[in-house]
Amino acid sequence: TIVYRAVRNVDQLPVVIKLLKNPYPNFNELVQFRNQYTITKNLNSPLIIQAYSLENYQNGYALIMEDFGGISLQEWAAFKEKKLSLIEFSEVGITLCNALEILYRERIIHKDIKPSNILINPHTKEIKLIDFSIASLLPKETQTLINPNILEGTLAYISPEQTGRMNRGIDYRVDFYSLGVTLYELLTGFLPCEDDDPIGMVHCHIAESP
């Protein structure tokens, strides 16, 4: 996707515009893109990015969202001049746990919690979850065994259940696993599972200690 910051002409409201990079998106890309709007439009929470509208644009869509001056958690951690304090880390962790509780109450599984899908305003420390493109409006899913190269989610943060190799369904706990990986990386500067080979990465999540 391509993301722009803009100002809405009708009311001078700062907005973010998200577009599909592919000029001729396939059906699955269109469904995933529309999924973001369908799921977030009814989530009226200060911890979830607000979607204003979904507009037809060329062969796809343009998703119009709020702009609260946030940058990714990844960028924020990298830009900080000194290491994250324990208080700052705790505040971020508690806020993100509260955000996942909201999703749990709404029976939503995000399935791609990671630092680049968490925005933080560096001045106010306001935090919001973004990118619900592969999120599910189901309390539980069944995952089948598929090639690690085409797994849903991001391999470095994916839960063992999402790999399809655990013979277990997917529910809200997969998001807490991914949040655990995110907080581990935020605190240590390293991922708990690092491997150049997708199979090795899957094995690490299932069988190895950080």
User: Which residues are known to be catalytic?
Assistant: 112
Cα(1)–Cα(34) distance, rounded to whole angstroms? 13
* 205 C-beta neighbours (distance < 10 Å), count: 23
CA distance 17 to 20: 10
Alpha carbons 6 and 14: distance in angstroms, whole number: 6
What single-letter DSSP state applies at residue 144?
A: P
Bridge-based pairing of strands 2-8 and 13-19 is: antiparallel
Place of tokens 């990015």: 49
C-alpha to C-alpha distance for 184 and 14, rounded to whole angstroms: 33
The residues near 126 (Cβ < 8 Å, ≥ 6 apart) are 46, 68, 70, 120
Return the biggest CA–CA distance within the chain: 54
Give the Cα separation of 63 and 49 in Å (integer): 12
